Structure 1
Amino acid sequence: MKADFLKYQAQTTPHPLAMEVSYAKGSYIYDINCKKYLDFVAGVSACSLGHQHPKVVNAIKNQLDKYLHVMVYGEYAQKPAVELSKLLASHLPAPLDTTYLTNSGTEAIDGAIKLAKRVTGRSEIIAANKAYHGNTIGALSIMGFEERKQAFRPLMPDVRFIEFNHELDINQITTKTAGVVLETIQGGAGFIEPQDNYLKKVKERCDNVGALLILDEIQPGIGRTGKLFGFENYNCVPHVVVTGKGLGGGMPIGAFTASYEHMITLSDEPKLGHITTFGGHPVIAAAALATLKEITESNLIQETLEKEQLIRKHLKHPLITEIRGKGLMLAAMTPSADITNQIVLQGQEAGLILFWLLYEPKAVRITPPLTISNEEILEGCDILMSVLNKIQPTN
């Protein structure tokens, strides 16, 4: 299978990890040799309830017996999508009450950009340096990392970049600005949290000049940071919130949510202002609905902060310089990219799945399922500490 994977399936890097997966259950993934790996990554923050969560699986199976795709998005009333959108609205602050369901987070980002342009009649989009919002041309255009996008130019025009957490840069948001797109916590840059009411100040500036603040919650949203939505930690309610990853419980989904008054603008002048065939797919929506119910009706959100402290307590080593992030969105920082590489690769050999961040080469991603137990956390920390003890730093 590995040979066919490398030959017939398009690759994203020259050297993929290429684990040959047999099955996954709970907090573990098993390869074709029945070796188990404790999952400290959760499909890059996507498998919020772990693997094969029974409520998610049952929701999928129940929907399979009713209907699959029946019509392009927005024409028919389909119960899973309607209930998911309604449940999201019930947990979001006013005026965020209307959701457009998409196939992925990056598609939702593109939809949010279009919404900002449609509502304001402006074209300028402002994003942050070292931002990551996805890889469609629209999302790529607001990626704040030239090395990863230079090969694909020309991209979307009228994009300006500011420094995250730099208050003076907020003045670059003007009456020419349609929307400001920021990650609530910068992911690829190294899990950088907003400081000193930064997001609140950006929102106030947007209100003053008539721009929309779009917060990308694709990673920090859906319970990962101790609140259902990451922005709840930072005294800010955006005009548009974008979700994905963990919302699907292991199934592909994205969503952008705004006020009804704003969202209705996508339906006319022109009609079909934003359209997708498979967005809101009933099977995906059923999985997401089960996921959101489980996260909001259990103690998982509160437990993320307790589990964060457990990780911080047990991951103390000379090769870990700091641990960034919040809840179960954590990055263990090391002295060098070489050490990080050794940790990730040797961790997999030892049965612990870790991963990298996009732009910060010294970071080790720790984003396990929200359902991971305290015992499993201690098991993973023990493996990671054992790996750290064997690493020989190179100069």
Structure 2
Amino acid sequence: MTSHAAQTSETAQAWQDAADRDLILNAGPRFELLVRGEGSHLWDGEGRRYLDFLAGIAVTALGHAHPVFVEAVSRQAGTLAHVSNYFATPPQLEVAARLKRLAGTGDAGRVFFGNSGTEANEAAFKLARLHGGVGRPRILSLDNAFHGRTIGALALTAKASMRDPFQPLPGGVEHIPATIEALEAAMDDRVAALFVEPIQGEAGVLELPEGYLRAARELTTAHGALLIVDEIQTGAGRTGDWFAFQHDGIVPDAITLAKGIGGGFPIGALVAFGEAAALLQPGSHGSTFGGNPLATAVSNAVLEEIEQSGLVQNARDRGAQVRAAVEGIGSPLVAGVRGRGLLIGVALSAPVAGQVVAAAQRLGLIVNAANPSSVRIAPALTIGDAEIAEFTDLFTAALAEVAAAAPTETPK
């Protein structure tokens, strides 16, 4: 008889072979074949359970198969899924008004819908170009920035490994250090826009210096440039406020959104305020699927549930618990904890993030190596004491396993 272990190995090899054969390998080998989710847990094809503390990279804000999400998809799919942007639909109008209200601008502003974060940033890139015109050719972005992988968004992204194979990229973008002094030195009346992430998630959950966004708002206003805040990873309550810019008490000219606003359904948005809201005119941008009634109905339901269930405050409270739990582990591998709310980066004392993530997955925990020396944690906004206790046990065990196998060193 064939043993269960052998059957499991054969099954795993079969789906891995299919993935290698049929999928473009832009994401590399897939870790597991996941078939079902509920709350903050996932199951693979062999029935093994995992605690999901990544939430699809800060996407599944309500967790998996949440009744509100399921009902919204089912109801709207049975009503109206797509009509094109020659027409408006009630879900589209409702979620656009909701996003403006949550951003704190009241009736001011307008919303463009796409299907992803990178599409939202492409639209924002065009917004900057339209604002700049002939006399403002410069666009500023920050070192370590990640704004997406399409050509325009990639021009805003500062990672050479992502950019270099696709040169030449659209010109005019300059990457500067994420310091107030560097921004003061770079800003002049030829700058069309400054793009900034309040927390650089892909760089290891790096926070901006204290007061950076307030200084950026003052400088961009003084020089007539747009301040465009990329809230794709930080929005929808993840940092303990609806949007991370609100922690600093400022109002940008535009924000870009995706990930958590759909709770797992693909949707992106550019929300522009003030004069910036009038820059995109008929014919200057578009999206066949953007703002379709199915996506916007689901987004509206997800945002309503976050609002009504107090999940923004829960992100703040549970984020503090998770940080305290990590700091209390006492592992020699933990050099510090960064981030806000439930977007958390664990700085490691050695470049072993990949090993920690692999060990965690073997133990039944899903987290992410944002870079060799940082582990990213971004669970659903619905987590509670039970999930945090389970996470603490599993993450402690993963750190201990890696620490026993590799000496620590200070990352350079």
1:38 matches 2:38: no
Quote the offset at 1:260 in angstroms: 5.8
Counterparts of 1:125 and 1:247 in 2: how far apart (Å)?
A: 27
Quote the offset at 1:30 in angstroms: 0.5
The 3 A distance-change label for structure 1 pair 298 and 14 is closer
Matched-pair contact (CA < 8 Å) for 2:204–2:345: yes
Equivalent residue for 1:101, pick from 105, 113, 124: 113
Q: Which runs of 5+ in 1 are unaligned?
A: none
Q: Deviations over 1:290-318 (max 9, x none)?
A: 11101112221111122122112222322
| SS at 1:330 equivalent | strand
Find the counterpart in structure 2 of residue 115 from structure 1.
127
Q: Which runs of 5+ in 2 are unaligned?
A: 1-14
Find the counterpart in structure 2 of residue 22 from structure 1.
35
Matched-pair contact (CA < 8 Å) for 2:204–2:375: no
Equivalent residue for 2:389, pick from 364, 378, 382: 378
Matched-pair contact (CA < 8 Å) for 1:167–1:198: no
Find the counterpart in structure 2 of residue 67 from structure 1.
80
Find the counterpart in structure 2 of residue 390 from structure 1.
401
Find the counterpart in structure 2 of residue 349 from structure 1.
362
| SS at 2:140 equivalent | strand
Find the counterpart in structure 1 of residue 322 from structure 2.
311
* Amino acid in the other structure paired with 2:214: K
Counterparts of 1:355 and 1:188 in 2: how far apart (Å)?
A: 10
Matched-pair contact (CA < 8 Å) for 1:126–1:180: yes
Counterparts of 2:325 and 2:279 in 1: how far apart (Å)?
A: 50
1:265 matches 2:279: yes
Equivalence map 1:1-395=2 (5 Å): 1-17=15-31, 19-71=32-84, 73=85, 75-94=86-105, 97-121=109-133, 122-259=136-273, 261-267=275-281, 271-315=282-326, 316=329, 317-337=331-351, 339-357=352-370, 360-391=371-402, 392-394=405-407
Q: Deviations over 1:330-385 (max 9, x none)?
A: 01111222x2111100111111001111xx32111110000112211110111110
Q: Deviations over 1:116-143 (max 9, x none)?
A: 2213323321100110000000010011
Counterparts of 1:161 and 1:148 in 2: how far apart (Å)?
A: 14
Q: Deviations over 1:128-168 (max 9, x none)?
A: 01100000000100111112210110001011111113423
Q: Deviations over 1:36-57 (max 9, x none)?
A: 1000100000111111111111
Matched-pair contact (CA < 8 Å) for 1:214–1:241: yes
| SS at 2:332 equivalent | coil
Deviates most, 348-357 or 119-128: 119-128
Counterparts of 1:164 and 1:127 in 2: how far apart (Å)?
A: 9
Counterparts of 2:407 and 2:24 in 1: how far apart (Å)?
A: 33
Q: TM-score, normalised by structure 2?
A: 0.91
Find the counterpart in structure 1 of residue 3 from structure 2.
none
Find the counterpart in structure 1 of residue 7 from structure 2.
none
Counterparts of 1:290 and 1:48 in 2: how far apart (Å)?
A: 12
* Amino acid in the other structure paired with 1:105: G
* Amino acid in the other structure paired with 1:143: T
Counterparts of 1:362 and 1:209 in 2: how far apart (Å)?
A: 38
* Amino acid in the other structure paired with 2:127: L
Q: TM-score, normalised by structure 1?
A: 0.94
Counterparts of 2:398 and 2:338 in 1: how far apart (Å)?
A: 20
Q: Deviations over 1:91-116 (max 9, x none)?
A: 12237531111110111001011112
Counterparts of 2:27 and 2:95 in 1: how far apart (Å)?
A: 35
Counterparts of 2:312 and 2:175 in 1: how far apart (Å)?
A: 33
* Amino acid in the other structure paired with 1:388: L
Quote the offset at 1:283 in angstroms: 1.0
Counterparts of 1:21 and 1:196 in 2: how far apart (Å)?
A: 40
Matched-pair contact (CA < 8 Å) for 1:137–1:155: yes
CA RMSD of aligned residues (A): 1.5
Deviates most, 217-226 or 111-120: 111-120
Counterparts of 1:159 and 1:215 in 2: how far apart (Å)?
A: 16
Q: Deviations over 1:204-241 (max 9, x none)?
A: 11111111000000011110011000111123221101
Counterparts of 2:157 and 2:219 in 1: how far apart (Å)?
A: 22
Structure 1 outlier segments of 4+, above 6 Å: none
* Amino acid in the other structure paired with 2:297: A
- Higher-Rg member (1/2): 2
| SS at 1:386 equivalent | helix
Deviates most, 213-222 or 295-304: 295-304
Q: Deviations over 1:227-267 (max 9, x none)?
A: 00011112322110111100001011110111264333312
Counterparts of 1:333 and 1:94 in 2: how far apart (Å)?
A: 36
